[in-house]
Structure 1
């Protein structure tokens, strides 16, 4: 009995903490809390009440009534939870950029500049987003309000939503107050920083595994619901187009919701670097592949339209067949989009290979510069002859540009642009700035190499999670398409049987099965639309988990579309053959 009050007390504490966190999230918004509640929350509440009223008082099928208040509840929940979501996004953004910012700060601290200048330079790095804004707040407290650095860090630590970053600011404040050098503190913090980043990255991947299982169960449930929506009207006589359409809308909401959740949960670890004022080598080939894929796809859409609607020449005029199964007409026009997908995929594999070689290169460069007490150009003259895999040609080009007395900033800019790697660009910039400001090359090279090696190891774990997700989504696509079109073909066969029975006997088949309510071509069109929706959202999920270029989604989109359409054709053919025997 004594444990019940304790449990209730624990629940009260949890509820109060949750409420306090929500209130704190509302207070962090740029808009005043009362204004947000009046302009956003109250209209959402009215909309929810309206959807409930529609579901209760309007005469609609039950399958249509249920999703309506769900939509209103979703809008209300989104309005209430949006401020909390903003704080969560800010926290995630900080933690995603945490390791890069810490490495950059450590590199700057080892140079010959003042510790406040380190904070000012980091505040100018807009790429760090919320982190650079937080650093700027510290700078403003010191420069504008004349606070000491330790007081400013301690003050901001209480307002930062990220716990690891808040702990770091607290430790930094204590260290600065104790008189320790900033560089000594940051070098000692490297292992803690790396461990925190590894923990956050791996926990995110674990969360994606949980989402994968939840996604599987939800999509299978929606698949069964759609099959029932196809088959049950033959017994009840309700309008199947309405029920199938309602379930498809709900199916789309479920998949879109999971895509947004996975997008929010996935670790921010970009692979590609997009330079602003330098045109990388091979840029035109990738642009050409996009143009070729798009143009061919449009041409095939026109030819398919000619077959289906009799508008001009058709696809079958170019093929030795009189007609094609309807699902194949959906798959053929999207096939050329695989061209840019393959081209970008090949280039992405090269970027990954360069990332694997860069830690060895930057460590060798830093160690050689320190040992020979020489310039980067003189050291690269030797290093360019060593094998750095796909990075070898880029190292050779870097030496040639430096040897031609090109400005170091510009030479390294061309180097990072041609590698196309986001991490190589960031770490190369850190190394160059550290060298220009008097940092020790060996220390810089080892620091950057160590951090990038850890990121590469985490990327291998992410790649394994991506492979698992690809297998899951491809399997779900095949299974869902199989279930959809089994139900469709059964209804189609029953409709043919009812016609035969109705003409050959006086039996009133309409009292047993209601095939007259079906518009089978329209139902098939809706099911093919589900196949397309699934292909689009599943390819976007794969691209989000993978973290690669957006064009990678095109290849998966084409393959998922073909899987869904081919399974549909085979299912209808096999089921038709078995049931017509």
Structure 2
């Protein structure tokens, strides 16, 4: 079932690119069978949707099944309702004798509106799910905090059941949140999905490697100095030392975030570049390379160096398809990569460059506006997650410090009521070995580290960002947990 739902989400998330690709190829000289074959070969970028189209291609070319029957056959077996309805309508129109160009022209707007409705509904569900998540965490944290004090008043020394059980429930709840959001939100990746890595992405991985080495080196040095008893390292708690050691990991996260801001700027400039390219190419009789040369002399801001690199590759006349593909990869934008690839394929098949550029630009602009709305909601979600991290750390550490102090008081008092037979004080007050509380501080901090990573991964999935952006949120959350632990133990512990 999980695999089925994941495939459905993947297909729905690619429908806007699919219908755009279908539309621009439909105005070319390609037949419908050729169009299906072209899209079916794009399995890397279309993923599960590409697999479904590939099946249609195999049924029509190898098994000689009419396209109308192939559409109906796949529609009965696809997990996506959106794709199922589209293929059913397509099959019926072909049987009725309607031209595929006419059908696709009419259906493009309907599919895009359906995708827009699904995207906006997912944005609304994100807000609702955040509220449900907060309510669930409040109850879990209450159980964890209560479990730290409960053993002393229940006559048992076993607090592991409450703490470990509530910690496991916390992590399971966050894992379910990650899965629900991933299955609920349409896939909207920022970076290209071709499998090729640009020089920018390679530099990010090199920076990650250096950051990991720095973190390991700093961690080993800090804990070695603490072990030897050097001041002030021996005075710092282990939580602070771990946070200091993890701090270099934020560097690739920041760099990835800044690069994604540049990607958004390139996409905005691309929406001006592509229509200009289409218009000039139409005036020049479809001469794309000459049009690119002309536009490479213009100023398109942050996109200008990439346009000039595109012209340099095209001027070599080695492989125009690869030149356009690397144009998208170098910009690090999935929208630019997909848009430029569609433009190249459609114009190569003798489609009107002006019409192709207009269709691609209109659809990308619609989806980009939806992404901007989603990112506005995600900013609120990030603030919520940071506040949740502080709230969990503060409430659990306060309960832990209070329980530890009460346990110390009762241990110092001994058994003052042991000769009073009328009161079974042992059933009311029970002491716990002090070492258990020392272990609990470590357990709680480990749980908070895992909690921080899961929430950071959730933010990454919501944004559709590169994996390295996880560290941009993970490191601050770990710092929030460690500083909260230090402040609570230092100030509240000394006050009590």
Shared fold, TM over 0.5:
yes
Distance 1:539 1:471 in 2: 12
Aligned-pair distance for 1:248? 1.8
The equivalent residue for 1:97 is 14
- How much has 1:451 moved relative to structure 2? 1.1
User: Which among 499, 513, 533 is matched to residue 429 of structure 2?
Assistant: 513
Which residue of the partner structure matches residue 160 of structure 2?
241
The reply on whether 1:226 has 2:112 as its aligned counterpart is no
Q: TM-score, normalised by structure 2?
A: 0.91
Whole-Å Cα distance in 1 between the matches of residues 131 and 294 of structure 2? 52
Q: Partners of 1:139 and 1:403 in 2: how far apart?
A: 34
Q: Check conservation: 1:274, 1:420, Cα contact below 8 A.
A: no
- Asked if residue 253 in structure 1 is aligned to residue 156 in structure 2, the reply is no
Query: Quick one: structure 1 residues 464 and 243, their matched pair in 2 at CA, closer, same or farther if it must change by over 3 Å?
Result: same
Paired position in structure 2 for 1:73: none
Distance 1:344 1:156 in 2: 39
| Contact 1:531–1:565 (8 Å) recurs in 2 | no
Q: Which runs of 5+ in 2 are unaligned?
A: 419-424
* Partner residue, 2:112: 194
1:471 to 383, 394, 412: 383
Residue 274 of structure 1 and its aligned partner are, at CA, apart by 5.6
Residue 421 of structure 2 corresponds to none
Higher normalized contact order (CA 8 Å, seq sep 6+, divided by chain length) = 2
Deviations 1:103-123 (A, max 9, x none): 112222221122211122222
Query: Which of 448, 453, 461 matches 2:365?
Result: 453
1:264 has 2:183 as partner: yes
Q: Give the aligned partner of residue 176 of structure 1.
A: 94
Distance 1:387 1:491 in 2: 66
| TM-score between both structures, scaled by the size of structure 1 | 0.78
Counterpart in 1 of 2:445?
528
Alignment of 1:324-343 (within 5 A): 324-343=236-255
Q: Of 85, 88, 111, which aligns to 1:167?
A: 85
Separation in structure 1 between the aligned mates of residue 60 and residue 411 of structure 2, nearest angstrom: 85
> Could you say if the C-alpha distance between residues 199 and 275 of structure 1 is closer, same or farther in structure 2, counting changes exceeding 3 Å?
closer
C-alpha contact 2:286 2:347 (8 A) present in aligned 1: no
CA RMSD of aligned residues (A): 2.3
Which aligned pairs between 1:339-488 and structure 2 lie closer than 5 A?
339-373=251-285, 375-488=287-400
Q: Report how far residue 164 of structure 1 moved.
A: 2.4
State the alpha-carbon separation in 2 of the partners of residues 125 and 250 from structure 1. Answer: 41
Listed as ranges, the matches of 1:293-312 within 5 Å are 293-307=211-225, 310=227
Tell me, yes or no, if the aligned pair for 2:250 and 2:472 is still in contact at 8 Å.
yes
For residues 105-161 of structure 1, give each alpha carbon's deviation from its aligned partner in whole angstroms, at most 9, with x where no partner exists. 222222112221112222222132332333334344444554433333334434333
Unaligned runs of 5+ in 1: 1-83
| 8 A contact 1:377–1:402 mirrored in 2 | yes
Distance 1:273 1:227, change over 3 A: same
The CA deviation at 1:413 is 2.8
For 2:346 and 2:202, the matched residues in 1 are separated by: 34
Q: Distance in 1 between matches of 2:78 and 2:452?
A: 40
The DSSP-based 3-state class of the residue aligned with 1:112 is: coil
